[in-house]
Amino acid sequence: MSLSIRLSHFLADLFAVKGWIKEDRKIAYVVGLDVIFSTLIDWTAVGMLAILRGRFLEAVVYLLFFLTVRRYSGGYHANTRAGCFAVFISFYLLGDIGVVEIYRNCNAAFLAGYGLGCMAVGELVFLLFTPIPNDRKKYAEGWLAGAKKKALLCLNAWYCLAVSLWALGSELSGQIIMAGNIVVLLILMSKRREGK
C-alpha cells in the first residue's frame, strides 16, 4: 500500500473518530485524500525540478495547462501510481528541455510554422478523440457530453494565449504548445491502448 493511501486511511479514520464524517463515507474521503496527496507529490516534484532548472514560471504554465485542459480531454492513465508519476515527470522534463532547445536553435519562421502545425494537430486530435474517459472513474450524468466542448474551449483559450505570447517574443508560448503536444500524445496513447 502506498504512503498516500496509508495517510488517507489514517486521516479518514481520524475524521470518523472525531465525528467530522460518517463511518459509511470514509472510503470516499480515502479516495479524495489519496488524489490530493498524489497530485501534490507530482506537482511538488515538477516544482522542485523547475526550481533546479531555473524555470519555475514555465512549470507553472505547464501545470496550469494540465489542470485546465486535461481534466476535460482525458488521456492515457498508467496502471500504477509509480507509472503515472514516471510518465508525468518524464514528459514534463522532455517537454521543457525540448522547448529550451527549440527556442535556442530555431528562427522565428520555424517557430511560427511549428506552433501553427502543433495547434492544427491538437485541434484535430481533440475534435476526433476527446473526451477519453478514465475507466477507473465515475462521472456525473451528462458530464462527458459537455467535456468535448470544455476541452476545446480550454485548448483554444491556451492557444490564443500562446499566439499572443509568441507575438511578444516570450518562450512561454512554446511551453503552452509543448504542454498541448504532451496532452495530444497522452490522448493518442490512450486510443492506441483501446485498440489493442
Residue-by-residue DSSP string for 22-35: -GGGHHHHHHHHHH
Predicted confidence at residue 7, as pLDDT, reads: 85
Q: Indicate the DSSP class of residue 76.
A: -
Tell me if 158 sits within 8 A of 176, measured CB to CB.
Answer: yes
Does the structure show a pLDDT above 80 at 196?
no
Separation CA 28–CA 16 (nearest Å): 12
Strand partners, 132: 74
Q: Which residue has the cell 508519476?
A: 85
pTM here? 0.83
Q: Which of 23-27, 31-35, 140-144, 151-155 has the highest mean pLDDT?
A: 151-155
Residue 169 banded pLDDT, cuts 50, 70, 90? confident
Predicted confidence at residue 160, as pLDDT, reads: 96
Residue 48 banded pLDDT, cuts 50, 70, 90? very high
8-43 confidence digits (pLDDT tens)? 888 888 888 888 888 888 888 888 888 888 888 888
Separation CA 49–CA 42 (nearest Å): 11
Q: What is the mean pLDDT of residues 158-177?
A: 93
Domain boundaries, the chain: 1-53, 55-195
Predicted confidence at residue 78, as pLDDT, reads: 75
For residue 154, the one-letter residue type is: C
> What are the cell numbers at 159?
492557444
